[in-house]
A and B are shown apart, each in its own frame.
Chain A
Amino acid sequence: MRYSQKRMATEENKNAAAGSGSQSGAKAATQPAAQQGFVYLPLIAGWLVPGAGHFLLGKWIRGSLLAASVLGMFVTGLAMKGELYTSVHNILDILCLAGDLGNGLLYVAGRVAGWGAEQVQTTVADWGARFIVVSGLLNVIAAVDAHNLRTGRKS
């Protein structure tokens, strides 16, 4: 592994970059269990289920707070009769749909269950639609944070 960003030059990464094939195999055996396996798993899990990426890494408090924040914003948006974007008509709709997709399985569940208003009709419902979009964007930030924890970019 080679990383170009700050804080990536940990002893572990330096050793992995400097080591030969046989040595890296031996080092892999000495790595903790949390550092082995599919490196993108926390990223994908965190995107699909809010907080799951942090739970996989044993960061229970952080994961719980992130899950509560994302779920809270999503549910608040639905309670305000916000819209789940299903089709796109212009560039703003495309951006809003991309934000909604950041909610992962919450968006899929919402589509399947028919949550959200068909059409935004009040000012509060417009705020609700923004809440849902922003909850998806916050979920993406949380998933990337889980990935950074997994790769050692963040402690």
Chain B
Amino acid sequence: MTYFPAVLLFALFASTVFGITQRETPRGMIRYGIYCFVLFVGSAIALSWLMFFIAR
């Protein structure tokens, strides 16, 4: 398994649990779950680019 699929799986599982446990309504759970997923994946991509430029 490479890094990016691992990030996607981690973000999927973690954001599912966060969405269900941190909000009360089904609509709020879905919205918060998607929000967490985007933040997980987005921050991983952003930090990866940051490290890429630092390493150059």
Contact = CB atoms under 8 A, between A and B. Distances in A.
A73 B21 contact: no
Nearest to A59: B20
Nearest to A145: B21
Interface in B1-52: 1, 6, 9-10, 12-14, 16-18, 20-21, 24
A142 B18 CA distance: 9
Contacts of B13: 69-70, 72-73, 76, 135, 138
Contact of A70 (B10, B17, B24): B17
Contact of B20 (A62, A135, A144): A62
Contacts of B21: 66, 141-142, 144-145
Nearest to A148: B21
Contact of B6 (A68, A127, A138): A127
Contacts of A142: 17, 20-21
A7 to B, nearest CB: 9
Interface residues of B, number: 13
A65 B6 contact: no
B16 A69 contact: yes
Interface string A48-76: 00000000000000100110111011001
Contact of A66 (B12, B20, B24): B20
21 contacts: A65-B20, A66-B16, A66-B21, A69-B12, A70-B17, A72-B9, A73-B9, A76-B9, A76-B13, A80-B6, A124-B6, A127-B6, A131-B6, A131-B10, A134-B14, A138-B13, A138-B14, A142-B17, A142-B20, A145-B20, A155-B24
